[in-house]
Structure 1
């Protein structure tokens, strides 16, 4: 039960982090620069907490030779997932940008558990687990796509499909698979290092370095001035990195307990719940969109799917 609460909590925090980082992006002028700031703040936060509780930031250099190369790539997978969503949004729109990565996350989570990839605990893919995963995906589609369709069914679509649409959809699925891989890799890294905090710190540090390289290569201009449309920069736009750090840390703790597949779907339920709460109450300056009965039904379907997977 504690594992489920951890997963739901960090899942709820994810859309809150997205909203915060969106506000930060408006101030710094670039999604990559906003992500870099977020990752850097998260890295510093994890370093302070790790140093306080574990009294060291170091681990044996021999691990680089004795452990598989993929053990250190969790942060890079996270950056690819983040960047992928930025690129997918103008090509697929908001609905498919959510659904395609979710499909990849669920699929990869089940494959990792079934085959024990990334040294994960093996949990065979049964009919019950497969049905549960399908229900979770159906719940996501119901919450995001069906609700959006019902709200806009009287509008006539005038835009043409983007060229190579299925290629972009496949890219969305692949980025979702990398997100699930990040969850599994970071979970195993925590076991190897003997510290969930150090594993989360390594992941964030790798992600921050990758984003720094992206910013330097793309020569992203730094915008420090407040946008003309805003009167001030709220203090909370700087805490997205803290929420992201807790999200990664929560996954590191969760995976060894429940496995990658279940960890992914629990967090997805929390993510959808958090998104609906932001829409309902207009938190963090977001425009209010009252929750519909269709969305509630979709969330309930997702919960049923999690219960089925958990029963195995």
Structure 2
């Protein structure tokens, strides 16, 4: 059941991306859209925390500073694709963060980083992770792009390797965010409060960036708006809450891999059906098979 919840959490991510893309078109800039999304998510988590825990001020005395970095990690991960796509091209932007996520998830579990429970790095676990990674590459359309020669354009300057390493690091930050928020939830006694703290930190970071860069928020009347473009923050809040709740139960590695399965499955569904204003793209057989391979990898890690 918990693995399926991790998959469901991943399912929300591409939906949130599509929703926030529509919000961005309406308010003008990615930073403005991210700030609004985080504000909505923070407000929804505040309401839930008051209903469930009766407070927005948990006892955080004595907790290490790194437990409050989850929100800042989330801001970096949220904007990474915007930065990386024009510099690395579509192929590397899809692959490298996934490599970082899977690798960091295994390392956190193997060495017990961020106070996570230690999970032995067995041959079966590594094999399952390789299957998840291979399936993710297939589901992301990497095999189709390699066969067609459509690898995307990328800068060929001396800084290319810096951006490649940055992409891997962003994936590692995504896994670290899962572990950090999970431990914060354990220490404050509530994954809802942990998610609220994480979103509050992220919102504060975004507001500071908005003020420093003097980024305006303008309503684009030509694009207009729809009611569902405001729910991206709620979806993101649900994702962070589920990660915080599941990481101490499943371990960071398995939680991350379950999220990846859901993310790829939802992406293929949105593209195949042309949902939320996206251009319709029929999923190929390798892409569909990639999701099944990812499921096999997750099952291997969990069941064997």
Could you tell me the TM-score, scaled by structure 1's length? 0.93
Pick one of 245, 253, 256 that aligns with 1:261: 253
Matched with 1:81 is 77
Matched with 2:105 is 109
SS of 2:89's equivalent in the other structure is helix
Matched with 1:141 is 137
In structure 2, how many angstroms separate the alpha carbons of the residues matched to 1:23 and 1:272? 20
Distance 1:29 1:256, change over 3 A: same
Matched with 2:26 is 27
Alignment length, in residue pairs? Answer: 303
Pick one of 83, 91, 98 that aligns with 1:95: 91
Matched with 1:53 is 52
Structure 1 position 309, deviation (Å): 1.4
Distance 1:201 1:156, change over 3 A: closer
Pick one of 143, 166, 171 that aligns with 1:171: 166
Matched with 1:294 is 286
In structure 2, how many angstroms separate the alpha carbons of the residues matched to 1:269 and 1:129? 16
Equivalent pair of 1:8/1:266 in contact (CA under 8 Å)? yes
Name segments (4+ residues, structure 1) moved above 3 Å. Answer: 155-163
Deviates more, 1:185-194 or 1:294-303: 294-303
Structure 1 position 85, deviation (Å): 2.2
User: 1:258-296 CA distances to partner (integer Å, 9 max, x unpaired)?
Assistant: 000000000000000000000011110111001110101
Structure 1 position 300, deviation (Å): 1.2
Pick one of 218, 224, 241 that aligns with 2:233: 241
Structure 1 position 148, deviation (Å): 2.8
Could you tell me the TM-score, scaled by structure 2's length? 0.96
User: 1:109-132 CA distances to partner (integer Å, 9 max, x unpaired)?
Assistant: 000000000000100111111111
SS of 2:233's equivalent in the other structure is helix
Deviates more, 1:214-223 or 1:200-209: 214-223
* 1:3 and 2:2 matched: yes
Structure 1 position 10, deviation (Å): 1.1
* 1:187 and 2:182 matched: yes
Matched with 1:303 is 295
The gaps in structure 2 that reach 5 residues or longer are none
In structure 2, how many angstroms separate the alpha carbons of the residues matched to 1:74 and 1:156? 33
The gaps in structure 1 that reach 5 residues or longer are none
Pick one of 131, 146, 159 that aligns with 2:127: 131
Structure 1 position 311, deviation (Å): 2.9
Distance 1:304 1:211, change over 3 A: same
* 1:204 and 2:196 matched: no
